[in-house]
Structure 1
Amino acid sequence: MANPPKYFIVEANALPEIFRKVAEAKRLLETGEAETVHQATGMTGISRSAFYKYKDAVRPFNDMLHGRIVTFQTRLRDEPGVLSSVLNSFAVSGANILTINQGIPVSGCALVTIGAETSGLHIPVEELLSRTTALRGVLKCEILAG
């Protein structure tokens, strides 16, 4: 059995320059500032072979104090306006909703998974859970991952 990969959190300045440039090239591609790998590598001054060699191994670390993605799972009554009130609760609290996945209602209830970036919350996540759970038609609200 192969050894699982090991990960380290390392300050960017301690990394060899090629890793920082690969991360920058990936950012340029993700933001659309570069349309092709050729263009991104040219902008960062690295070869395409170096980019392809390290692209899957280099990822920026998002500081948990500045941004956090949390997955919430809710069980809602299949009634008009319930999901809307949940989404409004998130918005008013300062959460930035990234994804919504709703299953087909069964027995009058629907399972809804919401991925949200919570760095802009004006209240603790636990308070958001309490407020959301207290809404009409919400049967359950919990954190699935985060």
Structure 2
Amino acid sequence: MDKYYLVRSDILPEVIEKVVEAQNLLRTGQARRICEAVKKVGISRGTFYKYKDSIFPFEADNQSRKAIITLVIHDEKGVLSMILTRIAQLNCNILAINQTIPINDISNVVLTLDVTELPGNIEDLIALLRRLDRVASCSLISIE
């Protein structure tokens, strides 16, 4: 199980802040490509790729939280409906659903959720989804 920590930025190596700066340049369109963003903030592409999927800025005043999760499910009638119902029962709002065409009765699903009103933590949600029948795997991609 992944562990998460909330850490003040002043104790982190400077490179971590620079990765966040590069992510913001890409997100806001101030840089169109990763090579452009890393050049502007003064880090290597390798450093960016090393940390990019593990650093998530925290904003204490943000009133909503979003999470992106990916699932590998067995393609059978009602499986996705069962998953979505369970998520809704936990007060999560489903913002977007992307599903691949099933191959060998397996489908990949990416869900973007508003988890602001989730009663537990995101790790509990992921663990619950992993235990559902016909879910082969479930992973957290990002959270804000």
TM-score normalised by the shorter chain: which range applies? Answer: 0.5 to 0.7
TM-score w.r.t. the length of structure 1 is 0.56
1:145 aligns with 2:142: yes
- 1:89-104 maps to which residues of 2 (within 5 A)? 89-104=86-101
Question: How big is the shift at 1:64?
Answer: 6.3
Distance in 1 of aligned mates of 2:66 and 2:132: 23
Aligned positions, number:
92
Question: How big is the shift at 1:85?
Answer: 1.1
Distance in 1 of aligned mates of 2:135 and 2:70: 11
Question: How big is the shift at 1:66?
Answer: 2.9
Distance in 2 of aligned mates of 1:115 and 1:4: 30
| Aligned residue number for residue 78 of structure 1 | 75
| Aligned residue number for residue 68 of structure 1 | 65
5+ residue gaps in structure 1?
Answer: 6-60
Distance in 1 of aligned mates of 2:65 and 2:111: 14
| Structure 1 residues 83 and 64, CA gap change in structure 2 (3 angstroms) | farther
Question: How big is the shift at 1:63?
Answer: 4.2
1:112 aligns with 2:109: yes
5+ residue gaps in structure 2?
Answer: 1-34, 42-57
- 1:21-36 maps to which residues of 2 (within 5 A)? none
Distance in 2 of aligned mates of 1:95 and 1:71: 12
Distance in 2 of aligned mates of 1:145 and 1:96: 16
| Aligned residue number for residue 129 of structure 2 | 132
| Aligned residue number for residue 25 of structure 2 | none
The Cα RMSD (Å) is: 2.3
- 1:65–1:119 Cα contact (<8 Å) kept: no
Distance in 2 of aligned mates of 1:63 and 1:79: 41
| Structure 1 residues 109 and 88, CA gap change in structure 2 (3 angstroms) | same
Distance in 1 of aligned mates of 2:106 and 2:74: 4
> Which residue of the other structure, out of 37, 40, 46, is the alignment partner of 1:4?
40
